A = this chain, B = another copy of it.
Amino acid sequence: MNRQLILLKRPNGTPAASDIEYRESAIPEPGEGEVLVRNLYFSMDPAIRGWMDDAPNYRPAIPLGTPVHSVTLGRVVASRAEGYKEGDLVSGITAWEDYSISSPEAGLGVMPSDLGIPLSQFLGVLGPTGLTAYFGLLDVGQPDPGETVLVSAAAGSVGSIVGQIAKIQGCRAVGIAGSDEKCRWITEELGFDAAINYKTSASLVEDIQKACPAGVDVYFENVGGEILDAALMCLNVAARIPFCGAISGYNSQVPVPGPYNFWQLVVKRARIEGFLIPDYAERFGEGIAQLAQWMSEGRIHHAEHVVDGFENTLDTFLKLFDGSRHGKLVVRIAED
Where the two chains meet, the residues of A that have a C-beta atom closer than 8 Å to any C-beta of B are 50, 56-58, 224, 233, 243-246, 249, 255-276, 279
Partner of A265, one of B263, B269, B272: B272
Partner of A246, one of B57, B255, B262: B262
Chain B residues with Cβ below 8 Å from A270 are 273-274
Per the bound structure, the CA–CA distance linking A246 and B261 in Å amounts to 11
Partner of A262, one of B224, B261, B269, B273: B224
* 21 sample A-B contacts, Cβ–Cβ < 8 Å, listed by A number: A58-B266, A58-B267, A58-B268, A224-B262, A224-B263, A243-B266, A246-B266, A249-B263, A257-B257, A257-B258, A257-B260, A258-B262, A264-B274, A265-B274, A267-B276, A269-B274, A269-B275, A270-B273, A271-B271, A271-B272, A271-B274
Oligomeric state, in copies: 2
Per the bound structure, the CA–CA distance linking A233 and B249 in Å amounts to 16
Per the bound structure, the CA–CA distance linking A258 and B259 in Å amounts to 6
B265 touches A260 (CB 8 A): no
A267 touches B56 (CB 8 A): yes
- Distance (Å) between the CB of A235 and the closest chain B CB? 9
Closest B residue to A239 by CB, please name it.
B274
- Distance (Å) between the CB of A267 and the closest chain B CB? 5
Partner of A269, one of B245, B249, B257, B279: B279
Chain B residues with Cβ below 8 Å from A269 are 273-276, 279
Partner of A266, one of B261, B263, B267, B276: B276
- Distance (Å) between the CB of A232 and the closest chain B CB? 10
Per the bound structure, the CA–CA distance linking A279 and B272 in Å amounts to 19
A259 touches B256 (CB 8 A): no
Chain B residues with Cβ below 8 Å from A257 are 257-258, 260
